[in-house]
């Protein structure tokens, strides 16, 4: 088992293992760091940077995916564009006031 503590002086073997070192995550992260550095240099040189999503954009994307799964499992999802924002309507979905949980149908599965 490789421990990741090898160095060039040991010829690619760790002190606790006689198996050659495989290229692993550290090599990949070095390559990624080089690509990130190149990208940062491109931005500094005036080239456009890649699009970065905010945390809110990621959460909205997850919500959109979850709403799609609700549809896949037989639920109804209606989306309405409103000047004040997006309206999401879930017909036949209610909130149990005792458990503070959304549920499909009229009866809470926990009650």
- Count of domains observed in the chain: 1
> Per the domain annotation, does 60 fall within a domain?
no
Whether 5 is in a domain gets the answer no
Range of the domain at 95: 74-111
End-to-end, the C-alpha distance of the chain in Å comes to: 53
The span from the CA of 89 to the CA of 108, in Å, is 19
Residue 43: the pLDDT is 56
Q: Quick one: pLDDT at residue 58?
A: 96
Question: pLDDT averaged over consecutive 10-residue blocks of the chain (111 residues)?
Answer: 45 45 50 55 62 94 97 95 96 95 93 91
Does residue 89 belong to any structural domain of this protein?
Answer: yes
In a 13 Å sphere around the CA of 101, the CA atoms on its Cβ side amount to 11
């Amino acid at each position: 088992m490789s421990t990741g503590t090898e160095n060039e002086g040991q010829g690619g073997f760790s002190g606790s293992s006689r198996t050659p070192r495989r290229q692993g995550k550290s090599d990949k992260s070095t390559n990624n760091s080089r690509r990130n550095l190149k990208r940062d240099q491109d931005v500094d040189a005036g080239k456009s940077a890649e699009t970065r999503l905010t945390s809110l954009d990621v959460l909205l994307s997850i919500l959109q995916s979850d709403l799609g799964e609700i549809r896949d499992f037989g639920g109804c999802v209606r989306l309405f564009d409103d000047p004040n924002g997006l309206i999401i309507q879930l017909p036949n979905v209610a909130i149990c006031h005792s458990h503070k949980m959304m549920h499909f149908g009229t009866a809470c599965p926990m009650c």
